[in-house]
Chains A and B, each alone.
Chain A
């Protein structure tokens, strides 16, 4: 069974960088699929942040592209999100997920990690 688990600080100061890691078990990241970060502000809808796919290639939401970086550590079977220059608008539950290339549907989700931006 594929499982994903987000980890990282739950509180980030304004203008600093948000960093989260997603540990994957039950499947090797290097074997395929796309690996994504998706966020959801409290009481609001889902927003795709970006995806990581074969060879370490990445694709980002154009609205966040200048602030986002997704990377992979295949030795630890995990991937990470960095979002720079955060503001209160970045407060959200951040999900990591396994995404099918092409059809782009998500079949496995992490439980989510709430990140608050406050001084």
Chain B
């Protein structure tokens, strides 16, 4: 199982929108609507943002949204805020109870 592909970095100014992509294959991202997104601040455990492509985890603001097209899933952060600066990871179910993560994207708020 290969890691999902994410851009290493992304950036935007406060108030802007940023989209982070997560590319897999038909055996993972494209094969199941089981993509999730996590936010990780330095020194902290990851926090679930989105699951099953577009569903919000409890307490997550709707500025965060998820989508999928073919083998690529996306996380959009709208109305960027300073506290959104963090690392973001996608993951997908890959069949047979296997889970695969993306390499992570460092989001910088300019």
Contact = CB atoms under 8 A, between A and B. Distances in A.
Contact of A104 (B47, B91, B102, B103): B91
A5 B103 CA distance: 25
Nearest to B2: A63
Interface stretch (A9-17, A44-52, A84-92): A44-52
Interface size class of B (residues with CB under 8 A): 20 to 34
A66 interface: no
Given A51-B97, A95-B46, 19 more contacts: A34-B97, A36-B99, A38-B101, A44-B104, A45-B102, A45-B104, A46-B89, A46-B104, A48-B91, A48-B100, A59-B96, A59-B97, A95-B45, A103-B36, A104-B93, A106-B36, A107-B48, A109-B46, A110-B45
9 contacts: A47-B101, A103-B36, A103-B93, A106-B48, A106-B91, A109-B46, A109-B47, A110-B45, A111-B45
